[in-house]
């Protein structure tokens, strides 16, 4: 199972913005939190330039002042507790699930914190995420050797789909040796 998260990191907290997951059987999950600190994201130049545009945004009507905000009526937007239940169900539908991500350390923390501290991870959910970059290194490759993502960068579901593409490429390299 391949996933990606978008998050706000202030050096103390990793606040989930969105999560995308793709299973090898074709199932997908995409969810945007209704509870992340939108004001902090607005003050974060990189997130505003790279993540915010891919989220379901409710635009202000013409002539009205104010800031655009997450559209909480969008079907992909949910409270964190509901996202946690969705992620748990999605993962548990896969026998012997393994999680894979690209530069996975922060993704794993954002995923795990959906359930509170690491000790609260529900039974059957992976307590670790394997890293595609580490697998590339093991095969003698660098991140530059991996397939390039053409579009959708920093959209959690698009990135999760691309993680699957990279994993398939790494599997083909491993089989050819």
Give 71-93 pLDDT, tens digit per residue.
Answer: 999 999 999 999 999 999 999 99
Q: Which residue in 131, 115, 124 sits closest to 2, CA to CA?
A: 131
Neighbours of 161 (CB within 10 A): 17
What's residue 66's pLDDT? 60
Cα 111 from Cα 14, distance rounded (Å): 10
Q: How far is Cα 85 from Cα 108, in angstroms, rounded to an integer?
A: 16
pLDDT tens digits for 48-79? 999 999 999 987 666 666 668 899 999 999 99
- Are 111 and 19 contacting, i.e. CB atoms less than 8 angstroms apart? yes
CA distance 43 to 6: 16
* Lookup: tokens for 24: 């090898």
Total count of residues recorded for the chain: 177
Residue 160 — very low, low, confident or very high, per pLDDT cuts 50/70/90?
very high
Which pLDDT band, with edges at 50, 70 and 90, does 152 fall under? confident
User: Whole-prediction pTM value?
Assistant: 0.93
């Amino acid at each position: 199972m391949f996933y990606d998260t978008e998050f706000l990191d202030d050096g103390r907290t990793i606040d989930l913005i969105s999560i995308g997951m793709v299973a090898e059987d074709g199932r997908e999950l995409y969810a945007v939190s209704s509870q992340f600190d939108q004001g902090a994201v607005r003050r974060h130049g990189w997130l505003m330039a790279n993540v915010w545009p891919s989220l379901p945004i409710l635009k202000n009507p013409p002539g009205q002042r104010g800031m655009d905000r997450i559209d909480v009526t969008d079907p992909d937007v949910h409270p964190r507790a509901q996202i946690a239940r969705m992620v748990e169900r999605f993962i548990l539908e896969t026998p012997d699930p393994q999680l894979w991500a690209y530069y996975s350390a922060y993704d794993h923390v954002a995923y795990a914190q959906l359930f509170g501290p690491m000790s609260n991870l529900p039974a059957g959910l992976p307590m670790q995420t394997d890293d595609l970059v580490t697998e590339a290194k093991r095969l003698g490759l660098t991140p530059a050797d991996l397939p390039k993502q053409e579009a959708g960068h920093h959209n959690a579901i698009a990135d999760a789909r691309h993680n699957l593409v990279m994993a398939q490429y790494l599997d083909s390299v491993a089989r050819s040796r």
